[in-house]
């Protein structure tokens, strides 16, 4: 089972500054019957959320950012052309258009907290990481800084081959 904790995005379409969609139940809600206590996370989480605001306030762009992150994970290696850069949509006005974009998700997956994220510019993946909490302890499964990968002991497999095959503009 998977339960979203939060989604973070920065510099995507109209979202210039970092925005966070969190599923953590506010402590002010007290014993809200909608909140769920999930194995692997100490704070109660909400099973659903609504995004509301005025016209042109960025509601759709939060969902677009989540869709971009999903698409990048699933298709960047196979469908982004090697010389094509990163097909992101950065904030268009001022200096932010040339600054990197951040996408990060935290979720409970089978009772363990996972945090995955990446930072991209128009040309390449600048950073990428996966952290997993096991019995409350944070483990680094992998971290990527440009084209340098570091793998933690918990991530088994032929990691060095994967690192060599991963293009600069793909996850």
13-60: pLDDT as tens digits: 999 999 999 999 887 766 778 888 888 898 899 999 999 999 988 999
Query: Within its chain, how far is the Cα of 167 from the centroid?
Result: 19
pLDDT tens readout for residues 67-113: 999 999 999 999 999 999 999 999 988 888 889 999 999 999 999 99
Residues 44, 36: contact at Cβ < 8 Å? yes
E runs forming strands in 41-168: 101-109, 112-120, 125-134, 137-145, 148-151
What's the mean pLDDT in 157-168? 95
Q: If you search the block for the tokens 């997956």, which residue do you land on?
A: 109
Among candidates 60, 64, 44, which has minimal Cα distance to 52?
Answer: 60
Separation between Cα atoms, residue 132 and residue 20, nearest integer Å = 20
């Amino acid at each position: 089972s998977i339960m979203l904790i939060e989604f973070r995005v920065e510099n995507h379409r109209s979202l210039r500054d970092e925005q966070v969609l969190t599923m953590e139940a506010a402590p002010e809600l007290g014993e809200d019957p909608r909140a769920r206590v999930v194995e692997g996370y100490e704070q109660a989480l909400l099973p659903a959320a609504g995004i509301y605001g005025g016209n042109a306030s960025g509601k759709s762009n939060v969902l677009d950012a989540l869709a971009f992150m999903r698409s990048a994970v699933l298709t960047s290696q196979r469908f982004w052309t090697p010389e094509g850069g990163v097909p992101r949509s950065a904030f268009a006005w001022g200096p932010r258009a040339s600054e990197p974009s951040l996408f990060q998700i935290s979720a409970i997956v089978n009772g363990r907290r996972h945090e995955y994220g990446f930072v991209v510019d128009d040309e390449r993946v600048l950073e990428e990481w996966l952290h997993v909490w096991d019995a409350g302890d944070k483990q680094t499964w992998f971290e990527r800084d440009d084209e340098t990968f570091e793998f933690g002991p918990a991530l088994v497999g032929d990691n060095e081959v994967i690192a060599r095959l991963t293009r600069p503009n793909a996850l």
